[in-house]
Amino acid sequence: MRIAYLEDDGDVAATVSGWLRAAGYDVECFVSGAECAHAVESRCFDVCLFDWIVPDLSGREVLARLQIKLRRAMPAVIFTTGRDAEEDVVAVLNAGADDYIVKPLSRALLLARLEAVTRRQRGVAGGSLRQDFGRLRVDHARRQIVLDEQLVALTERETDLALYLFQNVGRALSREHLIQVVWSLTPDVDTRTVDVHASSLRRKLRLNPEYGWRLVSIYGHGYRLERERSPA
C-alpha cells in the first residue's frame, strides 16, 4: 500500500515514515503541498497523510485540488495537525477528509486509523459531497451544478474553478493561487485566463445579487465568492 505523506518538519517526517515502513507501507514524503498534489495526481497512491500547515499549498488546499482533479479516484485522506479545536476538526472532515489525528502522533493510533480508513475504502464507495443553496445546487462528486432545476453546461476548466469557489465561499483567493490549484501550474496560463473564466461563471451561474450571489473581483489580488444575505 502506497502512502503520500505531506509534512514539512523533517524530524517528524523521518519518525513517522519509519513507523509506516516498518509496518509494511510504501511511503513517499513531500515538504511542498504543490509537489505532493502533482505526485498524487500523476501516480497511484492508496492513502494521503497530510499535515495542515505546510509551504505553498496547505493540506486543506491540496485536498481541494485533488477533489477537483481526481474526482471519484480520490485516495483516502487523513490529516495530522496540532490544531485540535472542534471547528477545525469539523471543517476538515466536512471538506472531505476521511480522518483526523491531533499531534503529537502515536504510532499505535496512527496505524490503527490507517487500517480503519483503508478498510472503509475497500468496503464502501465514498459518499457524494453536495451543497444545496436553494436555486443553485452543487454536486462535487458528479461535478454538476444545477440552477433553477436545470443542469448548467460548463467546460471542464469552468467546472474545476466553480467547484473550488463553492468549496471556499467567503474566502479571498488570489489569481496565482487559483492557477496553482485549478490549472495545476500549467506554464502557459496567465492571470487573464482566470479573469475570463470568472466572467464566464458569473454569466452561466448567474452569480449576481438577484440570484443571491456575488463573485467579487478584488483589485490586484483575485476573487471572492460571496452569498448575499437575502437571495432573490
The set of cell numbers assigned to 139 is 454536486
Contact (CB, 8 A) for 80 and 7: yes
Tell me whether domains 2-123 and 130-227 share a fold. no
What does the pLDDT read at residue 122? Answer: 60
For every one of its 232 residues, what pLDDT tens digit does the chain have, with 9 covering 90 and above? Answer: 899 999 999 999 999 999 999 999 999 999 999 999 999 998 889 899 999 888 888 899 999 889 888 876 788 899 998 888 888 888 888 788 888 888 899 999 899 888 878 776 665 444 446 788 888 999 887 788 999 999 999 998 899 899 989 988 888 888 888 887 888 656 677 889 999 999 999 999 999 888 889 999 998 899 999 988 654 4
Residue with cell 471547528: 87
Q: Which of 126, 149, 153, 154 is nearest to 136 (CA)?
A: 149
In this prediction the pTM is: 0.62
Output the CATH code of domain 130-227: 1.10.10.10
- Cα–Cα–Cα angle for 112, 115, 117, nearest 5°? 110
What does the pLDDT read at residue 124? Answer: 45
Contact (CB, 8 A) for 144 and 190: no
What does the pLDDT read at residue 171? Answer: 86
Say which CATH topology domain 2-123 has.
Answer: Rossmann fold (3.40.50)
What does the pLDDT read at residue 170? Answer: 86
Can you give the residue ranges of every domain in the chain?
A: 2-123, 130-227
What does the pLDDT read at residue 69? Answer: 82
Q: What's the burial of 31, exposed, middle or buried (CB within 10 Å: 0-12/13-18/19+)?
A: middle
What does the pLDDT read at residue 186? Answer: 62
Q: How many residues does the chain have?
A: 232
